[in-house]
């Protein structure tokens, strides 16, 4: 007996509406049956079996944008957002989990109503009773932090027990709802903060290690230094993420200068640029829940209100995958000699800047995203690649991951949304004219055969 199950699920892959038809019945029947129960949403993702002009028109009347590939026999190609369509795997995962119930997978029930009831029962137990039970664990005081720690343990166990992945899906969804951006509180952390909080800033710093209390004081105490952090009301003493900011009268090209012990502090009213030089996530249990994009934007807005003369909001960011990417291209005809020079430390500053710019603009994954994770983060937030610097980070880590190269990402508050949309929908990398020119420039070092 062949049966076809039609379903609507939410953006987290939880079933909202179900309908059963015979296997030979057109998908259009299921579409008509479920159309009236569609919630108010912006997008509807469906496979090409639901491609019909009347269905697209009905969705348009409801204010819903269709993301449905066209049938192969269509004479006119139907355009759809391929990036959004990738998220349709969530409903496939939902079907897979329902089929874990043998009664659903084999259809023991001959009566369609009884079979649909069995599916609904499985959906409730799998997706809703577990979430409700887990949600109640959050009610006692201090339980939120314990649950975040529990997920940290779960992530650790998943390395050797991948079957726990399904439990993590529900766990992460619940944490994402609890740590909704609307609940987050932005606070400035300074040298007068409680010692317990300062200890956590030292422990959680992930980009530029804080050596001692004197180093911490240089980052928090001077008038041209700021530190902003997100907190959650249920975890008031635990920062979720923090960003360190240097106020400057220019856009710096070296983190060594920013963190120099002998530098002269700048009066805040003399600053023209706010430099976000370090951003660190604090809770491993919240992995996959992004706060950084909102933190930078809110910190920039707060600084612009405090210091309206600021004209530039930039980062001074590492390029963590540059050398590993180059190590895979030692035999490349065009850049192999530069890769070799970079890795053995003999590359000139000009060549370091040129290859770093080319890497940031051209090195892509199969999905079209940049290879570099920091680039993906900032470009996804709406920033643009503003400038690239050689000999910018002399620390052992900086030398190992990018031969000391660093990059400025510019947050132009007037262009952030436009840049974000271009990157999200079309994978457009926003970059300054100088960076694009740098990526196309000739290398100073020539291949050994040509040099001889």
The series of mean pLDDT values per 10 residues for the chain, 452 residues long, is 79 78 80 81 85 86 87 82 81 81 76 81 72 67 86 90 79 82 92 94 92 92 96 93 96 91 92 95 90 89 94 95 94 89 92 95 90 94 95 92 95 91 89 95 73 44
pLDDT (0 to 100) of residue 100: 78
DSSP 330: T
Domain with CATH 3.40.630.150 in the chain: 182-451
pLDDT (0 to 100) of residue 129: 64
Beta bridge partners of residue 227, listed in sequence order: 244
In this structure, what are the phi and psi dihedrals at residue 323, rounded to the nearest 5 degrees?
-70, -35
Mark whether 196 is an active-site residue: no
Nearest Cα to Cα of residue 202 among 218, 186, 187:
218
Residue 304 burial class via C-beta count within 10 angstroms: exposed 0-12, middle 13-18, buried 19 and up: middle
Beta bridge partners of residue 237, listed in sequence order: none
Tell me which CATH code domain 3-133 carries: 3.30.420.10
In the set 248, 280, 317, 340, the catalytic residue is 317
Helix/strand/coil for 118: helix
In the set 6, 208, 378, 389, the catalytic residue is 378
DSSP H or E stretch at residue 281: strand 273-281
Nearest Cα to Cα of residue 330 among 348, 314, 344:
344
Compute the distance between CA of residue 330 and CA of residue 261 in angstroms, rounded to an integer. Answer: 38
pLDDT (0 to 100) of residue 131: 63
Q: Are 22 and 28 in contact (CB under 8 A)?
A: no
Q: How far is CA 59 from CA 30, 72, 109, in A?
A: 14, 21, 34
Domain with CATH 3.30.420.10 in the chain: 3-133
Compute the distance between CA of residue 275 and CA of residue 314 in angstroms, rounded to an integer. Answer: 5
Matching CATH number, 182-451, of 3.90.550.10, 3.40.250.10, 3.30.43.10, 3.40.630.150: 3.40.630.150
Mark whether 378 is an active-site residue: yes
């Amino acid at each position: 007996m062949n049966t076809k199950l039609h379903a609507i699920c939410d953006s987290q892959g939880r079933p909202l509406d179900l309908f059963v038809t015979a296997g030979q019945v057109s998908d259009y029947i299921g579409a008509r049956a479920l159309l009236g129960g569609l919630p108010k949403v912006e997008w509807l993702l469906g496979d090409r079996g639901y491609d019909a002009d009347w269905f697209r028109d009905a969705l348009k009347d409801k204010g819903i944008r269709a993301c449905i590939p066209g049938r192969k026999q269509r004479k006119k190609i139907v355009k759809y957002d391929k990036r959004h369509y990738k998220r349709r795997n969530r409903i496939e995962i939902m079907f897979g989990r329902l089929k874990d119930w043998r009664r659903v997978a084999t259809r023991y029930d001959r009566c369609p109503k009884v079979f649909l009831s069995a599916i609904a029962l499985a959906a409730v137990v799998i997706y809703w009773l577990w979430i409700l039970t887990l949600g109640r664990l959050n009610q006692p005081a201090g339980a939120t932090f314990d649950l975040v720690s529990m997920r940290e343990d779960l992530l650790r166990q998943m390395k050797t027990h991948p079957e726990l992945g399904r439990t993590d899906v529900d766990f992460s969804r619940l944490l994402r709802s609890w740590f909704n951006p609307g609940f987050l509180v932005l606070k400035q952390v300074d040298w007068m903060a409680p010692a317990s909080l300062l200890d956590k800033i030292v422990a959680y710093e992930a980009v530029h290690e804080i050596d001692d209390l004197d180093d911490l004081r240089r980052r928090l105490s001077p008038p041209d230094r700021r530190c902003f952090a997100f907190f959650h009301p249920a975890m008031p003493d635990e920062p979720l993420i923090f960003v360190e900011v240097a106020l400057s009268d220019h856009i710096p090209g070296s983190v060594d200068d920013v963190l120099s012990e002998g530098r002269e502090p700048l009066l805040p009213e003399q600053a023209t640029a706010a430099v976000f030089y370090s951003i660190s996530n604090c809770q491993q249990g919240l992995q996959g829940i992004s706060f950084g994009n909102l933190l930078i934007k809110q910190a920039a807005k707060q600084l612009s209100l405090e210091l309206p003369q600021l004209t530039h909001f930039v980062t001074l960011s590492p390029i963590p995958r540059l050398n590993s990417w180059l190590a895979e291209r030692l035999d490349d005809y065009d850049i192999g000699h530069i890769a070799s020079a970079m890795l053995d430390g003999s590359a000139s500053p000009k060549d370091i800047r040129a290859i770093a710019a080319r890497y940031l603009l051209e090195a892509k994954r199969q999905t079209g995203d940049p290879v570099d994770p920091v680039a993906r983060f900032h470009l996804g937030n709406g920033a643009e690649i503003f400038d690239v610097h050689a000999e910018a980070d002399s620390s052992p880590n900086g030398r190992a991951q990018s031969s000391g190269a660093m990059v400025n990402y510019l947050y132009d508050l007037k262009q952030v949304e436009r840049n974000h949309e271009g990157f999200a929908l079309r994978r457009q990398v926003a970059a300054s004219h100088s960076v694009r020119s740098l990526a196309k420039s000739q290398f100073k070092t020539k291949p050994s055969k040509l040099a001889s």
